[in-house]
Chains A and B, each alone.
Chain A
Amino acid sequence: AQKVTQAQTEISVVEKEDVTLDCVYETRDTTYYLFWYKQPPSGELVFLIRRNSFDEQNEISGRYSWNFQKSTSSFNFTITASQVVDSAVYFCALRRGGGSNYKLTFGKGTLLTVNP
């Protein structure tokens, strides 16, 4: 069975602070994919990143960075110098690799509030 845990239900920061959102996953598969999505107040889920299980390189995209560590089954997301527009619910998700089952298993999400 697959499982994604986002232990932080809500985080509140002041603008310009750095913030890290935690994601821990469970899977028996050797090939899998991890995702982060952002859900702003409008409701639509916006795709941020996909990482496959064979690529443990950290990734940086502007103020966003992701730290993937297979040894701890974690895929954490850091926002540097947060802005009010970063306020949203962030979801981490897991998908099996290979085959034809493309089902995503989501965590329950972390509500990030960035205050001015």
Chain B
Amino acid sequence: DGGITQSPKYLFRKEGQNVTLSCEQNLNHDAMYWYRQDPGQGLRLIYYSQIVNDFQKGDIAEGYSVSREKKESFPLTVTSAQKNPTAFYLCASSIGRGTDTQYFGPGTRLTVL
């Protein structure tokens, strides 16, 4: 089945540690996105990539890094510089042109202890 997978579903890390969240898609989509969701808040864009080897900062990129070495994969690293990393992280992908609709993965809930 085609879709977007994120792993793991739940992630616990100690404060000060970097952690990488996985996002893979087999929809042959060019564009991929990372969003952060906090309780009672809408989604906020962290980074997005419209093509392999290229990505742009979203609204809240500080303390995060990404790479896009393959079309199918867009991992997000939450660094120790991110002051409030505990949140629900959602990955999305889209065709990347025209009347574009973003489709979302199941999310990863990160808790920093």
Interface residues of B (CB under 8 A from A): 31, 40-45, 48, 50, 58, 88, 90, 92, 94, 96, 99-107, 109
Chain A contact residues, CB within 8 Å of chain B: 4, 9, 33, 35, 37, 42-47, 50, 52, 91, 95, 100, 102-104, 106-109
- Please report the C-alpha to C-alpha distance between residue A48 and residue B41 in the assembled complex, in whole angstroms: 19
Given known A4-B42, A43-B109, contact A102–B99 (CB-CB < 8 A): no
Nearest A residue to B103 by beta-carbon distance? A47
Q: Which B residues touch A47, using CB under 8 A?
A: 101-104
Q: Which of A42, A50, A107 lies in contact with B42, CB distance below 8 A?
A: A107
User: Number of contacts between A and B (CB, 8 Å)?
Assistant: 56
A108 close to B42 (CB less than 8 A): yes
- The answer on a CB contact under 8 Å between B42 and A106 is yes
Chain B residues whose CB sits within 8 angstroms of the CB of A106 once the complex forms = 42-44
In the complex where A4-B42, A108-B41 touch, is A45 in contact with B50 (Cβ < 8 A)? no
Distance between Cα atoms of A107 and B37 in the complex (Å): 12
**Contact B50 A91, beta carbon cutoff 8 Å:** no
A91 CA to B43 CA, complexed, in Å: 9
Give 20 pairs: A residue, B residue, CB < 8 Å, sorted on A: A4-B42, A9-B40, A33-B100, A43-B88, A43-B90, A43-B106, A44-B104, A44-B107, A47-B103, A47-B104, A50-B99, A50-B101, A100-B50, A102-B48, A102-B94, A104-B43, A107-B42, A108-B42, A109-B41, A109-B42
